[in-house]
Structure 1
Amino acid sequence: MSRTVEDLVAEARSRIREISLEELVDTLAGDLVLVDVREPDEYAQGHLPGAVNLPRGVLEFQIHAHPAMGCVADEALAVPSRRVVLYCRTGGRSALAADSLRQLGFTDVCSLAGGFEAWRNADLSVSME
């Protein structure tokens, strides 16, 4: 029996932590990395302030070397205990991405419930940079 994308997302959500928009807003001043896993064209049309773009399709291959993850020039491993909050348009891709990072050993990774749409619907500021 084959599964649907919705099944895969539901399974991922059962293994990860999702945070609410309110919880994210309360923790934005803390030490965290905010990762937009949408495609570059989606990111360019607007994203959460301070977010870095690591598309879902390359996330697992590039996360360990991204400077936002605490890497230094001569060290190719990210700090796996660093708090990482992932988001996409509505939360499906970021749930899958959070589950992948959890499997890669990241210990404090979560997905934003409702994603970028929840952020925009709350009339919070959007960055175009």
Structure 2
Amino acid sequence: MPSGVNQMVDDAMARVETISVDDAKELVGKDGVTIVDIRDVRELWRDGKIPGAYHAPRGMLEFWIAEDSPYTKDVFQTGNRFVFYCAAGARSALATDTAMKLGLTNVCHIGGGFGAWKKAGNEIEAVEKK
């Protein structure tokens, strides 16, 4: 049993596929790929997001992925490859692990998250408050 959040993240990292920012950049806009931003909406408003990323807040992820949930989102039933990211990679590792437990098989996350994306100088899409 995990002894704390760091252990939980380490355990998730051992089970999930981590891809580089460069590999993620190659997947943006590709058919059959959904980039999923799990950060809080306030982070998106403040920092923007990867162009075209689908926003699925971490707190709703299980409910949006599970087919038996009244809140399930069709996007997660497409059979696409899902590439999750957060700010630095810890939340997205946990999210990817959770997605696998809920039956998604073609999933990974971006090592270093949005921070690494931004540091690499990649394009950022602004997100306006609604």
TM-score range normalised by the length of the shorter chain? 0.7 to 0.9
CA distances 1:21-46 after superposition (whole Å, capped 9, x unpaired): 11111222422111100111111221
Could you tell me which residue of structure 2 aligns to residue 54 of structure 1? 56
3-state SS of paired residue (1:86):
strand
Match of 2:75 among 52, 68, 76: 68
One-letter amino acid matched to 2:44: Y
In the alignment, the residues of structure 1 paired with residue 53 and residue 110 of structure 2 have an alpha-carbon distance, to the nearest angstrom, of: 13
The TM-score, its normalising length taken from structure 1, stands at 0.86
- For structure 2, the residue ranges without an aligned partner over 5 or more in a row are 67-71
- 8 Å CA contact 2:28–2:52 kept in 1: the answer is no
3-state SS of paired residue (1:105):
coil
Could you tell me which residue of structure 2 aligns to residue 11 of structure 1? 11
One-letter amino acid matched to 1:13: M
- 8 Å CA contact 1:54–1:63 kept in 2: the answer is no
CA distances 1:63-120 after superposition (whole Å, capped 9, x unpaired): 3532433xxxxxxxx13x3200000000000000000000111010101000000011
In the alignment, the residues of structure 1 paired with residue 121 and residue 10 of structure 2 have an alpha-carbon distance, to the nearest angstrom, of: 28
- 8 Å CA contact 2:89–2:110 kept in 1: the answer is yes
- For structure 1, the residue ranges without an aligned partner over 5 or more in a row are 70-77
In the alignment, the residues of structure 2 paired with residue 41 and residue 27 of structure 1 have an alpha-carbon distance, to the nearest angstrom, of: 25
Could you tell me which residue of structure 1 aligns to residue 69 of structure 2? none
In the alignment, the residues of structure 2 paired with residue 104 and residue 2 of structure 1 have an alpha-carbon distance, to the nearest angstrom, of: 20
Could you tell me which residue of structure 2 aligns to residue 23 of structure 1? 23
Q: Which runs of 4+ in 1 moved over 4 A?
A: none
